[in-house]
Structure 1
Amino acid sequence: MSSRIDFGQFDEGRGVNYWALDRTLQRELERIYTNEEFAWAEPRLASFGRTVGHTIADNADYIDDNGPVLEPYDKHGEVQNYVRYPAEQHENEELAYEAGIVADSFHAPPDREEPMPFSHNLAMQYLLSYADPGFDCPVAMTTGAALVLERFGGEEIAPYYGALTSRDSDDLIEGAMFLTEKQGGSDVGANETRAAYDEESGYWRLEGEKWFCSNVDAEGTLALARAEGAPAGTDGLSLFLVPHADPEGGAMTKRERRELAANASGRKGIPSAKLNDQYYRRLKDKLGTVSVPTGEVEFTGAKAILVGEEGNGFKQMTEMLNVERLSNAAASCGIMGRALLESRIYAANREAFGETIDRHPLMRADLVDMTVDHEAATAFTFEVARLFSERERLERENREKLENTRRRGENKRRRDENAEETYRLMRLLIPIAKARTARMAVDTASYAMEIHGGNGYVDDFVTNRLLRDAQVLPIWEGTENILSLDVLRALDREAAHEPFFEAVQDRLETVTHSALEDSAGVVESEYHDLAGALATLADAETDDAQLSAKRLAHYVFDVFTAALLLEQAQTALEGGDGRTALVARRFVANELADSEARGIIEGDRLPLEHFDPVVRFASVDPEALSESVPADD
């Protein structure tokens, strides 16, 4: 049994340990980690949660007012492409990367014999996003670039892979993904950047423009370009690593670049001899995510290294997109967690009409539903993170097997059926995770601002920045429309509905407790209705299917999340606590159940009778829940 959290003891959501106060994340990681992984990770996540809640959170507010500045030219008028960061950003980078936020999922961390699953990287990104989702963008892209180079890179790329996955900030470089072009946007196949092989230098040369380049000065940047004679569309694109510095001069870490800039005689940047042939035109003046410099880049013969096979670039880049979309979902959940924490603390301290505002029925209902939304988003995201981690583990094992067969003179690709099934389900759920949680983060941050009243609207309070930062999440890595069309492709090309239905049914079959009976019945009914909807769309014309794509994505999220929460509630009830059952029942009631007169006449008193368990994490006796289940008429 867990003790309730008294949020009234805090003045605000900083100077605290975000891991210790986020029992939702604790529950999800304990569920998806092995016992050994969780035992290793828990003290390290607690340490990181404290670091984020104290130092990184304070630094993030300063950086929001004093963000990176581009100095494209030195005083002699020569291109230097120099991005000047505040010292607080350098401190945040060292704290996060040296804590293993990227490295631990690629290399065995201290006291372990193998890397942590990628879900651990996402958990740390989640905690980081309590303080700064903008900085989480470079962390996510560093993770994604490293994954692509691990899978497709050769010997020439190995030093960049090593630097991307370093725990030592002295050796670290960051990753980036330059995908968007002015004329193409989400239509990647319309990209016009060109690539030509330069025999003299031994590098490819890139010409063209990239329009929205986050982490613009990264040393491990991946970009798509079309080689001469390649076909139009995505099939003609190849993937290249484009360093910030001239690769013939050796890749420069961020620290080396800072030191070189500081020591350059009479200059404030990098000597032109060290630069790659590209020009950082300007940084975007953005609404939020100030800590990540986003700019426009012109490739003017930039030296690049081919990654993987020529013409296979888009397929390779989708591996990074999967990571980026999951990172986007983890950041969304982190923003929701911080917004909810600030709201709980404020409501427990702010007095109005003679008592704290968390005593008033409407505020109690709001805080309950914000909590349920956060738990639903986090449960879905980390179940998909579990699938992604499992798929990557199996892929690594398969690559090792393939390498062994090659050493024995064989040349076979050994497919793992488990990896294929996991991929099919993951392929469906990743775009849904990104689409739904991003929108939920915006709504939660917006309402947290409303709870704080006028104070929440001004720069002095963090809710202002949370909303500005959250607003980019529905845009990054594909808008909701693009993601919904991706869901249709997963159903059509991967037959992803098959593992999806199996996963939902398996979970519903575990739900037997009487306190969950009514909710499980609703989900079972909706599950069958969803199956019917999918069958109808399978035979629909393309335009008709696309018209329903967004509603379908939300429907899949609701059914899958409900089954997931009910399964977790069943486990918790068997362990003697009914709190998760309250969350699951509320989610089903809000998202799937039919209600007469929009629920007005039903007399739902859950926010009043169970406020402490849901919002403050007090334990609930399972027998009390069974007794509260209304009898059938």
Structure 2
Amino acid sequence: MTDFIQKTTPLKNTYLSDSLLQSYLARKIAESPHGPLLSEIIPGLEALGERAVSEILNLGYQAEAEQPEHIPYSPWGERIDEIKVSDAWTHLARIAVEEKLIATAYDRKHKSWSRVHQMIRIYLFGPSAALYTCPLAMSDGAARAIELYGSDELKKTAFRYLTSSDPTSFWTSGQWMTEKTGGSDVALTTTEAKLEDNQYHLYGTKWFTSSTTSEMAMTLARTPNAPAGSKGLSLFFLRMRDSQNKLNHIFIHRLKDKLGTKALPTAELTLQGTVAELVGSQGDGIKKIASLFNITRIWNACTAVSFMRRGITLAEDFSKQRFAFGKNLDEHALHTETLLDLNAEFVAGFLLVMKVSELLGKEECNEDLPGESALLRILTPLAKLYTAKQSIAVSSEVLESFGGAGYVEDTHLPRLLRDSQVLSIWEGTTNVLSLDTLRAIQKENALIPFFKSSTELLNSVTQPDLVPFKTKTEIALQEIKSFFETTQKNETQLLKKSRSASYALAETYMSALMLNHCQWALQNNDTSLMDPIHRWHQKNFIRGILDN
């Protein structure tokens, strides 16, 4: 009897092995006025792609194995509320700064394409890094909020530290929204901001605070005599520790025992007179913090896509090694079909995330065309809600493709599914984001630029093999338009169908993006997108709104 050992293939450079990413960049370098600038980023992406499957990957495994620990007291009984994290977690922080995962977006070396460059770097870094992307996302969002609304002093200090490329002077930020009354309905926020000795002091409990080891946090609180509801909330900046390195009147109750994101310290805490600074004027806290979570929602979508890519890569490599029923898995037609279906989901999600990143960069650099700000407004919740659901489904199928090995923790495969699950919850559940999509439509007329952009993407599609799919997409757009025209005065029906409508909007726009990119690829003798398009169009984009 011989002892069988299953062979596996080590992960390869995540940039060099990603044909879709390289195709996307080749097109943008060829078409963009900033193409010569964009071409400069390739060597850095290759280097990060190699680092992601070696040093970063190993640190991610170590950080997962050495989970955060809350130490409430010193050996002598003093309340210290220390949170101890793995050395690997700290090392990942240093690498994130070295790789300029936030600084890239703000040095704007590549004009509006700096955001795209940043998101590609996150996409390569994220699936290896034990979700260190969470504190980075919140730090990026905080930097943007301070850039827009912060005082000159905050811009000189906090903004400079958040966007630093020097590990010795880099800060991360928490984002403290969730209270016992709920997370999504921030109108129920009970934290109070009291003016004492010409300083604001915050009082209240935050039930869920991620990255609690950060140097600072952004949070919402209600100032004295402020009206009830969301209109009475203001945005505040606070430091975690004072000049003596003691917690800023913050009492940490416990670390959360979560399904996933095990390496990330997430705490429940109470603010007991925490010194804080008002960001901008009183009120409009929701509007100001929206600039923060619009950034984090895009990070969320980018993370979802990167998880899909990682899972599919692992499953494809395993299928070439695993022998069952007389041949390798990649020779079984049904197994291959399953993996190709997953790849279609990834392709659609990737192109949507890149489009949203392009729009964000243009808005930040004042390069956006009329209507593109509203287009970004509607595509952001759509990208976040849809890719999160995709990531969960794809990760589940990936685990299943490994059989029992996919259910065993020491293969590191279950982490893909556990960590994907948070993506549909954090920064707004699917239903919350569907309602946010409706707000974008009702308050900012976002359907107008949505349909305009979809039509422009489809107008360039002329390859005969693509025309039937183009026609189906155009019909779906007309059906969606009809749905909103017939339900605009029926608020109950509109709310009831908002989730289905959001899926229809997302899937139809993703179809337009895929067809548009495939048109370019075919002109360059690349047929690799034809299969994903065939599979994507097996969906009925408007299935959820047809009964209207």
| Aligned residue number for residue 160 of structure 2 | 162
Q: Which amino acid aligns with 1:28?
A: Y
Flag as ranges the 4+ runs of structure 1 deviating above 6 A.
Answer: none
Amino acid at match of 1:155: D
Tell whether the 8 Å contact from 1:103 to 1:166 is kept in structure 2 after alignment: yes
Q: Deviations over 1:130-173 (max 9, x none)?
A: 21352110111111111111111112312111111111111111
CA–CA distance in 2 between the matches of 1:172 and 1:386? 26
Compute the displacement of 1:76 (Å). 2.6
**2:85 is aligned with 1:136:** no
CA distance in 1, matches of 2:453, 2:10: 37
Note if 1:538 corresponds to 2:488.
Answer: yes
**Match for residue 185 of structure 1 among 183, 186, 189:** 183
1:105 aligned partner, one-letter code = A
Local SS of the residue matching 1:274: coil
**How many Å separate the matches in 2 of 1:593 and 1:357?**
34
Query: Which of these residues, 280, 285, 307, is aligned with residue 252 of structure 2?
Result: 280
Cα separation, 1, equivalents of 2:234 and 2:310: 40
The equivalent residue for 1:554 is 503
Task: Tell me which amino acid in the other structure corresponds to 1:225.
Answer: A
1:590 equivalenced with 2:545 (yes/no): no
TM-score, with structure 1 as normaliser? 0.81
What does residue 42 of structure 2 align with? 42
Q: 1:565 aligns to what? A: 514
Equivalent in the alignment of 2:299? 327
Instruction: Please name the residue that 2:4 is paired with.
Output: none
Shift of residue 501 of structure 1?
A: 0.6
Q: In structure 2, which of residues 219, 229, 247 is the aligned counterpart of residue 223 of structure 1?
A: 219
What is residue 151 of structure 1 aligned with on the other side?
148
Alignment partners' CA distance in 2, 1:133 and 1:539: 46
Query: Which residue number in structure 1 is paired with residue 331 of structure 2?
Result: 359
Distance 1:82 1:65 in 2: 19
Q: CA deviation at 1:60?
A: 1.2
After superposition, the C-alpha distances for 1:532-589 in whole angstroms (9 at most, x for unaligned) are 112122122x221111000000000111111111111111111222222332232123
Secondary structure of 1:117's aligned partner: helix
Gaps of 5+ in 2: 1-6, 544-548
Matches within 5 A, 1:116-515: 117-132=114-129, 134-157=131-154, 158-199=156-197, 202-246=198-242, 249=243, 274-394=246-366, 418=368, 421-515=371-465
Q: Deviations over 1:362-386 (max 9, x none)?
A: 0111111111110011011111111
Kindly provide the amino acid, as one letter, of the partner of residue 321 in structure 1.
Answer: F
| Cα displacement (A) at 1:419 | 5.6
- C-alpha separation between the residues in 2 aligned to 1:22 and 1:308? 43
Whether the 8 Å contact between 1:104 and 1:115 is mirrored in structure 2 is: no
Q: Residue 281 of structure 1 contacts residue 295 of structure 1 at CA under 8 Å; is this kept in 2?
A: yes
Letter in 1 for 2:194: A
Matched letter for residue 121 of structure 1 = Q
Do the aligned residues in 2 keep the contact of 1:280 with 1:297 (CA within 8 Å)?
yes
What is the identity, as a one-letter code, of the residue corresponding to 1:163?
Answer: Y
SS in 1 for 2:240: coil
> How many residues in Structure 1 have an aligned counterpart in Structure 2?
532
Offset of residue 88 of structure 1:
1.1
Aligned-pair distance for 1:192?
0.4
| Deviations 1:459-509 (CA, angstroms, capped at 9, x unpaired) | 111221111111111000000010001111111111101001101111111
Aligned 8 A contact 1:527 1:559 in 2 = yes
Taking the TM superposition and a 5 Å limit, the aligned residue runs for 1:600-619 are none
> How many percent identity over aligned positions?
31
Q: Which moved more, 1:72-81 or 1:26-35?
A: 26-35
> Counterpart of 1:405?
none
Q: Deviations over 1:92-151 (max 9, x none)?
A: 11112111001111125xxx5868622222222222222135211011111111111111
Q: Which letter does structure 1 place at the counterpart of 2:537? A: V
Question: In the superposition, relative to structure 1, how do residues 113 and 519 fare at CA in structure 2: closer, same or farther (>3 Å)?
Answer: closer
For 2:169, the aligned partner's letter is D
Q: TM-score, normalised by structure 2?
A: 0.94
* Counterpart-to-counterpart distance in 2, 1:21 and 1:182: 45
Compare relative contact order (CA 8 Å, sep 6+) and give the higher one, 1 or 2.
Answer: 1
For residue 81 of structure 1, report the CA deviation from its aligned partner.
2.9
Cα deviation, residue 437, structure 1? 0.4
| Aligned partner of residue 53 in structure 2, secondary structure | helix
**Rg comparison, structure with higher value:** 1
Q: CA RMSD in A?
A: 1.8
TM superposition shift of 1:591: 4.4
Look up the SS of the partner of 1:121 in the other structure.
Answer: helix
Work out whether residues 173 and 218 of structure 2, in 8 Å CA contact, stay in contact via their aligned partners in 1.
Answer: yes
Contact 2:400 2:406 in 1 (8 A): yes
Kindly indicate whether the alpha-carbon contact (under 8 Å) linking 1:240 and 1:306 is maintained by their aligned counterparts in 2: yes
User: Could you give the per-residue CA deviations for residues 383-424 of structure 1, whole angstroms, max 9, x where no partner exists?
Assistant: 111111111111xx8xxxxxxxxxxxxxxxxxxxx4661111
Question: 2 CA distance for matches of 1:113 and 1:586?
Answer: 35
1:103 aligns with 2:75: no
Q: State the alpha-carbon separation in 2 of the partners of residues 583 and 593 from structure 1.
A: 19
Distance across 2 between alignment mates of 1:203 and 1:334: 43
The SS at the match of 1:579 is coil
Gaps of 5+ in 1: 1-9, 250-270, 398-417, 595-633
Query: Which letter maps to 1:211?
Result: W
8 Å CA contact 2:92, 2:129 repeated in 1: no
SS in 1 for 2:356: helix
For the residues of structure 1 that align with 2:347 and 2:59, how far apart are their CA atoms? 28
User: Counterparts of 1:44 and 1:93 in 2: how far apart (Å)?
Assistant: 18
